[in-house]
Amino acid sequence: MTTHAVVVGSGIAGLTVALHAVEHGCRVTLVTKDVLDHANTRFAQGGIAGVMFDDDRVEDHIHDTLVAGAGLSDREAVRVLAEEGPARIRELIDIGVGFDRGEDGGFVKGLEAAHSYPRILHSGGDATGTAIEKALVARLRASRVDVIEHAFLVDLVVDGGRVRGVDLLVGDREATVDTAAVAGRRGIVAADAVVLATGGAGELYAHSTNPAVATGDGIAAALRAGADVRDLEFFQFHPTVLAAGASFLVSEAVRGEGATLIDETGRRFAFDAHPDGELAPRDVVARAIAHQMDLQDGRPVLLDATHLHGDDPEERAAFLARRFPTIDRAVRERGLDWAREPIPVTPAAHYLMGGVSTDLFGRSSLPGLYAVGEVACTGVHGANRLASNSLLEGAVFGARAGDVIASDAASPDWPAAAGQSARPAGGEPSGAAPAGDDRVDVPPFSRAALQELLWDDAGLVRDEAGLGHAASVLSLWRTQSREPHTELEYENENLLVVAEQLVGAARARRGSVGAHYRRDDPVTSAPIRQEAVAC
């Protein structure tokens, strides 16, 4: 009998799962909460990391990933990522992704923070995610995969201890309570396997690089179904987001080209935090910026690209427009001329390293349920993701999940290792989190109030007082009676579920490490030097 797999999500991870699963004989239905090509993947600017050059080494990519992960990465997951990454990149090339090439016909090399080698491939300068998304969507439309757009995951269907399908709300995202019954319809799609590829939860925070669809839906559904999650305390904040107009990420590749971070006096301050300065791991650079902003009464720092590509500002402007067309357009739309003057930047929530706990084939602790991409946690990123490993993760582990779904369905037993990838030594949170203080003034619940709460109390820098306050507010919000009817209301409830888990994990991990930085115990957060991690 043909295995029916439902894939929820249409970024690089979900599309890769679907294409691989259908090649292995599965009947695949892909559902997405927006249109097919509107996923977080298309916003990825910097590129995809992989060992694609003769003078680079897999061992060096492994080493860099482990260093960035601050000692908490699962080494086997990292090895899988680095070893299988080149084949997945070549697969993308085969389906039509045109990575940028130089005059000699070879791939253009890009350098990003915490990489020891310029192994980043990009497409269209800073439009890599868009190029990958378009190519995968085109291949999917030509395949036998069925697609349901505007389909929101309400919950997983669990029967007999196994996931048996998905409960969907299909309809108008903008429906109101009064029109929900007309504009949307509920329906169950039965399946032999369900793959969560729903992305992260950037909407938890007031300032985020993520699109509005990143509301933690897959994590919340997995939690309600009883699946294990891990490492939700590790939320990466991107160091450089334009501090003018709506949030817009300025890729790490800009600093890789040589742009510098300066304070209001013009001083390069990043070397105060790490010997690699602007190209230190993201968590270090983001905190260095936040610290400098505190010294400047909250005013943003400046990203200076005015020394790139010679002394002629016209030539520099042409170079920036050619190398970073998407960023250049966004900068100029805000009335800024980054060829002639530094531009204001600030950190913002970017990427969730934790998620649904899986093995190295995407299997969760709940039979029949898989998770891939940002919604999943294989342990590959540890406490801090290495730049440009996210697209690679979606491709590598998406392919692995897609390759085993049919054979797993034919087996009477869910593999014993599912969801049990070991946490490295020293990675367990130290003890249970203390209870929050219920004596707290609680504002009415809204998404904006939730976002401000997490930004203030569980953001880039945390402490027990703030986390305890957040836990109390979240707990009281959860006791209030709210019955969701529309997609936006379901999203809000999902964000609340994930927020509680994130704050609880952050309170339990009392020591600082990687992206989880506690001002009340900062000693263990000192940067891990390159030589500290051996492969």
Over residues 375-397, mean pLDDT: 96
Structure tokens at 154: 């309400």
Domain that holds residue 464: 447-522
Dump the DSSP string for 58-107: HHHHHHHHHHHTTT-S-HHHHHHHHHHHHHHHHHHHHTT----B-TTSSB
Classify residue 31: in a domain, yes or no.
no
Which contiguous run of DSSP H or E holds residue 172?
none
CATH number at residue 245: 3.90.700.10
Classify residue 184: in a domain, yes or no.
no
161: left (phi over 0), alpha (psi -120 to 50) or beta: left
* pLDDT tens figures, 115-164: 999 999 999 988 899 999 999 999 999 999 999 999 999 999 999 999 99
CB 239 within 8 A of CB 347: yes
pTM confidence score: 0.90
479 pLDDT higher than 60: yes
- In 3D space, the residue among 222, 277, 230 whose CA is nearest the CA of residue 72 turns out to be 230
For residue 364, the model assigns a pLDDT of 98
* pLDDT tens figures, 34-48: 999 887 787 777 799
- In 3D space, the residue among 337, 371, 333 whose CA is nearest the CA of residue 352 turns out to be 371
Q: How many domains does the chain have?
A: 2
- Residue ending a domain, choose from 311, 330, 347: 347
- Residue ending a domain, choose from 282, 316, 347: 347
438 pLDDT higher than 80: no
Catalytic entry in 282, 287, 323, 447: 282
For residue 439, the model assigns a pLDDT of 55
* pLDDT tens figures, 231-278: 999 999 999 999 999 889 998 889 999 999 999 999 999 999 999 999
532 pLDDT higher than 70: no
- Residue 329 bears catalytic tag: no
87 pLDDT higher than 80: yes
392 pLDDT higher than 80: yes
Q: Beta strand pairing status for 48-49 and 120-121? A: antiparallel
Classify residue 180: in a domain, yes or no.
no
Helices (H), 3-74: 12-23, 58-68
- Residue ending a domain, choose from 322, 347, 372: 347
3-state secondary structure at position 184: strand
- Looking at the DSSP bridge assignments, the partners of residue 517 are none
Q: What percent of the chain lies above the pLDDT cut of 90?
A: 80
430 pLDDT higher than 70: no
